[in-house]
Structure 1
Amino acid sequence: MSPAGFSFPFAPPVEAVTICDTTLRDGEQTAGVAFSLQEKCAIARALDAVGVAEIEVGVAAMGHDEIADIRAIRAELRRADPVVWTRLRLGDIDLAAETGVRRLHVAIPTSDRQVEGKLRTTRAHLLEDTGRILEAAVARGFTVSVGAEDASRTDPAFLGALGHVAQRAGAVRFRVADTLGILNPFAAHSLVAELTRQVPLPLEFHAHNDFGMATANTLVAAAAGATHLSVTVNGLGERAGNAALEEVSAAMEASGVATGIVLRDLPSLSALVAGASARPLPASKPIVGEYAFTHEAGIHVDGLLKDRRTYEAEVIAPDRFGRTHRLVVGKHSGLAGLCKALHDAGLPHEVGTASALIPLLRIWANEFKRPAGPDDLAMLVGMLRPTVVKGDPAQGNAA
């Protein structure tokens, strides 16, 4: 059962989903991002500790330095299964064998535009190559999942045919990739629902965020039958990025669907990846952003001070993520919030003082464009007439 007050438009058909993280592969493909081996190992350990079930640890075809890194990362994992990403090439399988990892994800371009424009082949030849190469990988002892690259622009009937070939060759899962991020939640639900009927394998969904819908598309994919969800920490990834691990796992847990993710550890994981990627988090980033649980507006702060439940839903309560509400003062502060901030700063905090301070605070906020801290409040209080500070606002606002 989902916690009170929260539900999705489509009820997920399962009680649990598997989180598959690709921060170390797709996340590092973000333009300008490069992780050192030390950073890769730290991220892998953190992903393992937070409860991620599968971690794409790299691309063996990048060469022997990458293979050495993958071997080192693999040694850091205690619970999560490492997965090596490959193309549909026997040479990639050979290189993956050198990593010591026994799980492969084989990516296969599937749209006609990619089959004809990138691979210079036909659907028939692609199906033949898929069966042959997957059988070879399975024969070598690999557990193999298959990814349909550009699935959102592919004929669903062809995806179904590819899924049957993959299943006969011994693959264990079929990934549906919205490679260009062109789906919306309605189209994502429709595509995954159709493929659950056509593909005889469990489905994984891999979303990109070009229209800002990766998290939403991932959630409705789960509602349509996807049992595995591909994500990255902080939504790192090509172009506009991927579905964010912290958003997807928090929302799935809020809906009553288990992910195995330790929600309280998400902020530290997010901070680690933000530092390693040199991509600072947006201040209002859901769940992990600095201001995600920060309130300034007078009506919100007044309500929270009286009863946290007025502006806090159980499913998104900050303590679920090891965080707390933060009340700040600024242009939109009301008397209740300002009186509390003055009290906490050890300053005069009578209603009269706060009332007289509000016009000055608004002028200050327009100029400095940040919350006012204790020193700022002390400076502003110092600008008030002494009679005002003593509680007589009728004497005027400023000295």
Structure 2
Amino acid sequence: MKLNVLDVTLRDGSHSVRHSFTVEQVRAAAKGLNASGVPYFEVSHGDGLGGSSLQYGLSKTDELKLIEAAVSECTTSQVSVLLLPGIGTKEDLQSAASLGVKMARIATHVTEADIGAQHIELARSLGLKTVGFLMMSHMAPVEKIVEQAKLFESYGAEIVYVTDSAGAMLPKDVTERISALRQALQCEIGFHAHNNLSMALANTIAAIKAGATYVDGSMRALGAGAGNTQTEVMAAVLERLGYETGIDLYNLIDTANDVIAPLMQQPQEITGSSLILGYAGVYSSFLLHAQNAAEQFGIDERDILMKVGEMKAVGGQEDLIYEVAQNLASKREVVP
């Protein structure tokens, strides 16, 4: 069975390095991914095209320059971009396409596929491989996910992703969702994991067994929260399981070790706070914001994350983190 591995180090990993990728770093990573035979890899701000902002974090380097550098190194691999409607615009997508991007993943909250219709239609008209990306998929019942996935397919998505943005799912959750989509859709299905409960690889394998043919990973697991399924580990395990990926494992390991490891600001591991992300079902990219707010207001970041989880906050509501932190600090100050 042929699987398509999509590496998100240069997009999801942007969260972990505070959006500080340089042209040289992206070029080196892209060269390694291309030499390793990884079919697709994603480049953009962590929150997708247009994400560089005070709310989401400012990029050190214009993402279009990073995309251009990545494309220039590709002879077999293809570059993907992520776009969240309301953050990225149709003009951003057109600019990326003009630089040679070959795939666009249109990401919405799991119950809001309808806001991605025009972006999916535009991506198809630009000749891009077009993906519907259902974020925070743990928050909706299977029936709702099927409904939203069908919307994406009707707009022209060639692949629909179940996305465990909080790293909150267990293998049975993944199996239920992917199996239901496989029965309901004609298009291909993908899965994107986070490792906040140490389930990323197990969940990815569950997704494949249930019918997913596109799976995401990041080198050294570099990504938001506790990171993603580790691409080089996933490639090795899939080979052992008999799946065809076309990836040169040695080259991929070398790229992870020689290019990605030196630029990491800290080891990618499951800390107490990233564990709480998965436990409370909180968007993985909230972690650094919660850490900043905890330092600013002198409170435990885990308390912030638990409260945000209770509020069922989703991507785009990062401002709530600071409001929650301020409220928690005020309550603590008045306790006798």
Shared fold, TM over 0.5: yes
Q: Note closer, same or farther for the CA distance 1:97–1:51 as it changes in structure 2 (3 Å cut).
A: same
Measured at CA, do residues 40 and 90 of structure 1 come closer, stay the same or move farther in structure 2, by a change above 3 Å? closer
Q: Deviations over 1:201-247 (max 9, x none)?
A: 21111000011110111111111111011000011111111100011
Q: Which residue of 2 aligns with 1:56?
A: 42
Task: Output aligned runs, 1:296-311, within 5 Å.
Answer: none
SS across alignment from 1:60: coil
Q: Deviations over 1:19-68 (max 9, x none)?
A: 00000000121154632110111001101111111011113314682112
Q: C-alpha displacement at 1:163, in angstroms? A: 2.0
Residue 210 of structure 2: aligned partner: 224
Match of 1:78 among 66, 75, 78: 75
1:215 to 180, 201, 209: 201
Compute the RMSD of aligned alpha carbons: 2.1
Match of 2:89, SS state, is helix
Once the two structures are aligned, what percentage of the paired residues are identical? 26
2:4 is the alignment partner of 1:18: yes
Cα distance 1:190–1:127, how it changes in 2: closer, same or farther (>3 A)? Answer: closer
The corresponding residue for 1:203 is: 189
Structure 2 CA distance for aligned equivalents of residues 143 and 246 of structure 1: 24
Residues 347-358 of structure 1 mapped to structure 2, 5 A cutoff:
none
**Counterparts in 2 of 1:33 and 1:165: CA distance versus 1, 3 Å:** closer
Are 1:159 and 1:199, in contact at CA under 8 Å, matched by a contact in 2?
no
Distance 1:164 1:32, change over 3 A: closer
Q: Select which of 250, 254, 260 maps to 1:273.
A: 260
Indicate yes or no: 2:66 matched with 1:66: no
Decide whether aligned partners of structure 1 residues 165 and 33 sit closer, same or farther in structure 2, where only a CA change above 3 A counts: closer
Provide, for residues 364-394 of structure 1, a one-character-per-residue CA deviation record: whole Å limited to 9, x for no partner.
xxxxxxxxxxxxxxxxxxxxxxxxxxxxxxx
Cα distance per residue 1:288-347 (max 9 Å; x no partner): xxxxxxxxxxxxxxxxxxxxxxxxxxxxxxxxxxxxxxxxxxxxxxxxxxxxxxxxxxxx
Alignment of 1:97-176 (within 5 A): 97-99=94-96, 100=98, 101-111=101-111, 126-176=112-162
Structure 1 residue 266: Cα displacement = 3.2
Asked if the contact 2:120–2:131 (Cα under 8 Å) also holds between the matched residues in 1, the reply is no
Separation in 2, partners of 1:149, 1:264: 32
CA distance in 2, matches of 1:180, 1:91: 21
Q: Hey, what's the Cα distance between the residues in 1 that align with 2:78 and 2:30?
A: 11
Pick closer, same or farther for the CA change 1:78–1:183 going to 2, 3 Å. same
Q: Is the 8 A contact 1:164 1:200 kept in 2?
A: no
Cα distance in structure 2, aligned partners of 1:103 and 1:90: 18
**Matched residue SS, 1:78:** coil
* Equivalent of residue 264 in structure 1, options 245, 250, 260: 250
- Residues 225 and 156 (structure 1 numbering): CA distance in 2 closer, same or farther, change over 3 Å? same
Tell me which amino acid in the other structure corresponds to 1:245.
T
Q: Secondary structure at the match of 2:50?
A: helix
SS at match of 1:105: strand
The answer to whether the 8 Å contact 1:231/1:244 transfers is yes
- Equivalent of 2:224 in 220, 238, 241: 238
Q: Normalising to structure 1: TM-score of the pair?
A: 0.60
Structure 2 Cα separation of the partners of residues 133 and 204 of structure 1: 19
Q: Give, as a single letter, the amino acid of the residue that structure 2 aligns with 1:40.
A: V
1:185: how far off? Answer: 1.8
Distance 1:90 1:31 in 2: 20
Answer yes or no: is the 8 Å Cα contact 2:142–2:176 preserved in 1. Answer: no
CA contact (8 A) 2:162 2:177 kept: no
Relative distance call for 1:200 and 1:263 in structure 2 (3 A) is same
Alignment partners' CA distance in 1, 2:160 and 2:26: 26
CA distance in 1, matches of 2:141, 2:247: 34
Q: Which of structures 1 and 2 has the bigger CA Rg?
A: 1
Q: Distance in 2 between matches of 1:98 and 1:19?
A: 25
C-alpha separation between the residues in 2 aligned to 1:45 and 1:68? 16
How far has the Cα of 1:280 moved from its partner?
Answer: 5.0
Q: Which moved more, 1:250-259 or 1:61-70?
A: 61-70
Residue 197 of structure 2 aligns to a residue in which SS? coil
- 1:130 and 1:165 in contact (8 A); partners too: no
Question: Aligned partners of 2:37 and 2:186: how far apart in 1?
Answer: 28
Over 3 Å counting, the alpha-carbon distance change for 1:66 and 1:161 in structure 2 is: same
The 3-state SS of whatever aligns with 2:233 is helix
Q: TM-score, normalised by structure 2?
A: 0.70
Cα separation, partners in 2 of 1:46 and 1:81, compared to 1, 3 Å: same
In the other structure, the counterpart of 2:241 is: 255
Which residue of structure 2 aligns with residue 193 of structure 1?
179
Are the equivalent residues in 1 in contact too, given 2:137–2:162 (CA < 8 A)?
Answer: yes
Q: Number of paired residues?
A: 254
Q: Does 1:178 align with 2:175?
A: no
